[in-house]
Structure 1
Amino acid sequence: MQHFASDNYVPVHPEVMAAVVAANDGPDVPYGDDAVTQRLQVRTREIFGSKAVAFPVLIGTGANVISLMAAAPRWGGVVLSDVAHANTDENGAPERVGGLKLLACPSVHGRITADALLAWAGDRGNPHRAQPAVLSLTQSTELGTVYGIDELRSLAGAAHDLGMLVHVDGSRLANAAASLGTGLRELTTDVGVDILSMGAAKNGGMLGEAVIVLDGGVDAGLAESIPFLRKQTMQLASKSRFVSAQLLALLGEPGDSGAPGGPEDPTASSTVVSPDGAPLWLRNARHANDMAARLRRAIDHTLPGEVVRVTHPTEANVVFATLPRRTADVVREQVRFYDWGAGETPDRVEARWMCAWDTTQEDVDRFVELIAGVIG
């Protein structure tokens, strides 16, 4: 099935599947005390910092809820973008399960600024208002844009000045790092992020993500509460080694790059070395981004701009565009994708076209040819 619907559609990457099979070699201790998860802890410290701790979980929503519950008191609020996944696509889980008030900020192409955060500063100390306790950023954003290093440092600094902690929803963190040409630590620990929801499923994993408490979060005591929150929210897998194996396949085994606590080398090798020596997380994300860039170029150069209008910058692995609703419906009969929102007029719709690690150049070219044929 050809599609541009979601990077959740894609199959498990063969290297990830091989790692799961390898973890199935005999019995091991459950609930994260296994040898595979212990190797993941070593690798986590190598990449993210000498104090970092990983907690494998089952799904991204669970990772976000656990992270926010750990970082905020019961009276706390979470400042985030109006289009953040936690705000729009988690069925109220942070509120219903976590008991947290979400404080949404208007965004531009999915990004918020330090000024938007500071707009909530006046609520601090007011017992009639939820207390802004956590800043939650999505990287890359739901609209396919990426926060730069300076933007992240400014936002984290503003949050810390207010006594808040900083969370990153990193379901597509790999795509952001590939876009910016950085390592994972440079987008998290080094800019002041305290706790991270680390994605895997969208980048070649089977199922499972991780909550990673970074150095600042460890100092703030976040790691002590997560074992209890993970169990309470039904995110603790008994056979955690099969989640940890996937994360290790993406991140690489201990010793593959960098010194413990040092910045990751984004060109360092993974368990299975590619021709350019990059780890699997980077190879997969870089390819997905490249396919989205190819799709964007083809749209710009092939399709009439008055008919198909790109609506957001293409910085990661997704393209957003408006087009006639009838055109979208006809094209979708052959290639699946989702409508994202309303178009400029009732007869137009905004579509989301998502690329992934298994998207091919031929997929992109055929898709654009199909759209052009329907328009023609």
Structure 2
Amino acid sequence: MLTDPPKSSFASDNTSGIVPEVLQALIEANDGPAIGYGEDPITSELRVAMNDLFDREVTTLLAWGGTGANIVGLQAMINSWEAIICTSSAHINVDECAAPEKFLGAKLIDIKSEDAKLSPVSLKKELEILGVVHHAQPGAISVTQSTEYGTLYSVQELKEVIALAKEAGLRVHMDGARIANAAAALQVPIAEFTCDLGVDILSFGGTKNGMAYGEAIIVFNEELVGAAEYIQKQSAQLPSKMRYIAAQFLAMLKNDLWLKHAAHANEMAQLLVQGISSIENVELTQETQVNAVFAKLPKESIETLREWSYFYDWERENEVRWMTSYSTTTEDVERLIDGIKLSISG
């Protein structure tokens, strides 16, 4: 019989509540009227803060969610005859209900990858169709940092794959739904693995790191700014009361709160790995580099555990995913570990 389940959910990092500082920022932003569509003082302050974060002038647009942010960014960088290269496990490929294809009218060229990362070798092969009129022409790549498998591109890995894309004339989109976890794990300034390497547009995630809602679209390439701004409106991703998203991001950026919470989530994932790696019949299927743990378990244990504390199946047979967040506690992790042990031992 299993003990008490964890108080926090391991199903996803977006199951957590709102960071207290973010909630307070929303309350303060609600004090009095403000001009809409980003013409308010709070959004103006965020634009300056993002310039400081990336150590250059960038264009900061705010969207309702991650799918919308990805659509705006990708559509701004390709033509109607072009395609986007990504991995087969990319969120834009499998978890956005074909929104990129519908709104962009573009083909996704998805490459199988065991670790959810694009490699120079796999990318180079797809670039062989450049100049062949019978094929959709690769116009951009989209990389996810950190990836859907909880893996992490090193700065060098990104440098190599982005350089290859740029040499071929492609633009570069980064899906950063968990960019905070990546930055916390890499322990380098965010600019070093984004704009410094040639990323054109970044979807900067906030929801999975403790915001209520909202993502940022950071446009580094000045040539894409005009298109992104009009597409944002056309795609129904221009919030009228934008200050409520801006206030959340400002709260997260203040005193590096975004990194603090992401680092905690990463640490809790490592604690979970340490606790389950020696359990018989538990097989880790991916290296845990941020806040995601992937493992194979006996089928009967999965069913028992999921009824006790819900989580998701993943792509391989008997593979599951556990996600930690800013609100995950050491006690939560210990309870999950105990539950896994008991479910397997019977």
TM-score normalised according to structure 1 size: 0.89
Cα distance in structure 2, aligned partners of 1:127 and 1:48? 39
**1:235 pairs with 2:237:** yes
Cα distance in structure 2, aligned partners of 1:223 and 1:49? 18
C-alpha displacement at 1:20, in angstroms?
1.1
Aligned match for 2:14, one of 5, 8, 19: 8
Unaligned runs of 5+ in 1: 253-269, 271-278, 344-348
**1:373 pairs with 2:342:** yes
Cα distance in structure 2, aligned partners of 1:226 and 1:238? 17
- Give the match for residue 100 of structure 1: 106
**Counterpart residue identity of residue 289, structure 1:** N
Q: Give per-residue Cα distances to partners, 1:262-283, cap 9 Å, x unaligned.
A: xxxxxxxx2xxxxxxxx11101
- Give the match for residue 68 of structure 1: 74
User: Where in structure 2 are the equivalents of 1:65-214 lying within 5 Å?
Assistant: 65-214=71-220
Aligned match for 2:267, one of 285, 290, 294: 290
Matched residue SS, 1:197 = strand
Q: Count residues in correspondence.
A: 339
Cα distance in structure 2, aligned partners of 1:16 and 1:65? 26
Unaligned runs of 5+ in 2: 1-6
Cα distance in structure 2, aligned partners of 1:153 and 1:71? 20
Higher relative contact order (CA 8 A, sep 6+): 2
**Counterpart residue identity of residue 237, structure 2:** Q
C-alpha displacement at 1:342, in angstroms?
3.3
Cα distance in structure 2, aligned partners of 1:207 and 1:134? 27
C-alpha displacement at 1:79, in angstroms?
0.6
C-alpha displacement at 1:50, in angstroms?
2.0
Q: Give per-residue Cα distances to partners, 1:120-154, cap 9 Å, x unaligned.
A: 22221222111101110000000000000001111
Matched residue SS, 1:33 = coil
Aligned match for 2:27, one of 18, 21, 24: 21
Question: Percent of pairs identical after alignment?
Answer: 41
**Residues 139, 146 of structure 1: 8 Å contact kept:** yes
Cα distance in structure 2, aligned partners of 1:342 and 1:282? 31
Matched residue SS, 1:15 = helix
**Counterpart residue identity of residue 66, structure 1:** V
C-alpha displacement at 1:357, in angstroms?
0.4
Matched residue SS, 1:314 = coil
**1:359 pairs with 2:336:** no
C-alpha displacement at 1:198, in angstroms?
0.4
Q: Give per-residue Cα distances to partners, 1:163-213, cap 9 Å, x unaligned.
A: 011110000011011111112111211121111000000001000001100
- Give the match for residue 4 of structure 2: none
CA-based RMSD of the aligned residues comes to: 1.0
**Counterpart residue identity of residue 242, structure 2:** S
**Are the structure 2 counterparts of residues 68 and 106 from structure 1 closer, same or farther at C-alpha, using a change threshold of 3 Å?**
same
Aligned match for 2:248, one of 241, 246, 249: 246
**1:341 pairs with 2:315:** yes
TM-score normalised according to structure 2 size: 0.96
Cα distance in structure 2, aligned partners of 1:166 and 1:227? 18
